[in-house]
Structure 1
């Protein structure tokens, strides 16, 4: 056995004649084609002239845009209308409020004017009534001179502290009546009585109710100058005055008459108390 018997052969296997011929033919055809193409020269490329039409989309878009614009315009118009209506409503409300305030002001002014006219009419009626009463009183007593003489004699009959009280009260005749007044030029009824008695060192209560029980109750048929007259009940009197003698009294009556000296017949009292 040869020493190379197990060594594989490195020779390439022989190709079959048919395969070799086929490959040679293919190669030859390819080369022939290349040769023909090269002989013919480079081919001229023709420009592409075909136009591709794109689908049209602007028509639908325009319609959509137009619809959107109309909607926007409608909304804007609605907003403008609403704003106009709101402004008109606000103006109307302001005008109505102003008119109401003016009406209230006029009504208040009218009420004040009516109240003032009523007060003046009442005051005039009261003055007329008082004047008529004075006329009647003068006629019943004979004459004003005899009444004055009687008043003077009655005042002169007061003595001591009573005379001082009477003199003070008579000196205030003609002063104004003011509710709560305590002098020196305006008084209410109890303020005048309190001030008159204070001149002789007697400190009376401030109000009519208390003054009507400040002394000894006396009969109206047994009055003396300086006695306190009261109208209403003892302890609940609503008016007071000072008896000055001769059937007359001095009192701060009301805002129309002020402080006056009158006959007891002018306004008959309910009772009297004696302090001095």
Structure 2
């Protein structure tokens, strides 16, 4: 037996005659169609050559596209121009607003400066009037100083002396010396820390005035406001120390000279002045003499 006798045959079954005839017919039809198309080919050549007109259509379309692109670009340019104009207008508005605010600020500053200048002029005019008044009164004060000293001596004799170690005549003499020194410094400059001879601060002037009477006072106003016996502002005597602020914490001192007036080194604007107590009412007073 052959060695391949056990292997099944792979041959396809024989087709039926009807199917073979059908396939032959289909193949023949296809070949016939191809033959007809080949025969008809030369007859269709002339219409194909008429498609040369396509470049004309393409050219017109390109022109339209180019025109549309140009229009779009112009719109974009117009929008960009409008945006630039809007930005410029906004910037101009901000600049104008800032300029207006600056103008208002300058106007207010000028108004304040004018008000300050006017107030300063009025203060200077008042100061000149006070100086003229003090000048006319100094003669009267000088003429009446002798009688004032006698009156002070009499009152000291009738009342207990504020200092048990001083006689009434010594108190009067010391007060007169202190007042005379203080009045002689009117018109001198004010300098912080100044102790004379032509520039003072408030406590420097008081200390120097009392030194003429042989009395050493503390240097600063806080200590001077507690250097003696506290007295009422209604019972002041020439030579008493006036102070502004609290006793022991005073920020300014001056010397009472009688007649409701005092002499003090006020500030850098006024210097050393003689003024009425009503001009700047002190807080309290101490009596050292």
TM-score, length-scaled by structure 2: 0.55
> CA, structure 1 residues 194+77, in 2 after alignment: closer, same or farther (shift >3 Å)?
same
Q: Distance in 1 between matches of 2:89 and 2:277?
A: 72
Q: Distance in 1 between matches of 2:139 and 2:217?
A: 36
Q: How many residues align?
A: 219
Deviation at residue 228 of structure 1 after TM alignment = 2.0
Could you say what secondary structure the match of 1:213 adopts?
Answer: coil
- Residue correspondence of structure 1 range 87-166 to structure 2 within 5 A: 87-125=88-126, 128=129, 130=130, 145-151=139-145, 165-166=178-179
- The residue that corresponds to 2:36 in the other structure is none
1:216 and 2:217 correspond: no
TM-score, length-scaled by structure 1: 0.57
Could you say what secondary structure the match of 1:214 adopts?
Answer: coil
Q: Distance in 2 between matches of 1:99 and 1:265?
A: 46
Per-residue CA deviations over 1:86-126 (Å, capped at 9, x if unaligned) read 12322332233233213311221111111221332355356
> CA, structure 1 residues 79+249, in 2 after alignment: closer, same or farther (shift >3 Å)?
closer
- The residue that corresponds to 2:220 in the other structure is 206
- The residue that corresponds to 1:67 in the other structure is 68
Could you say what secondary structure the match of 2:77 adopts?
Answer: helix
> CA, structure 1 residues 146+255, in 2 after alignment: closer, same or farther (shift >3 Å)?
same
Give 5+ residue unaligned stretches, structure 2.
1-44, 151-168
- The residue that corresponds to 1:259 in the other structure is 272
> CA, structure 1 residues 92+198, in 2 after alignment: closer, same or farther (shift >3 Å)?
farther
Q: Structure 2 residue aligned with 1:52, among 49, 54, 79?
A: 49
Could you say what secondary structure the match of 1:107 adopts?
Answer: helix
Structure showing greater Rg: 1
1:182 and 2:194 correspond: yes
Deviation at residue 59 of structure 1 after TM alignment = 2.0
Deviation at residue 79 of structure 1 after TM alignment = 0.7
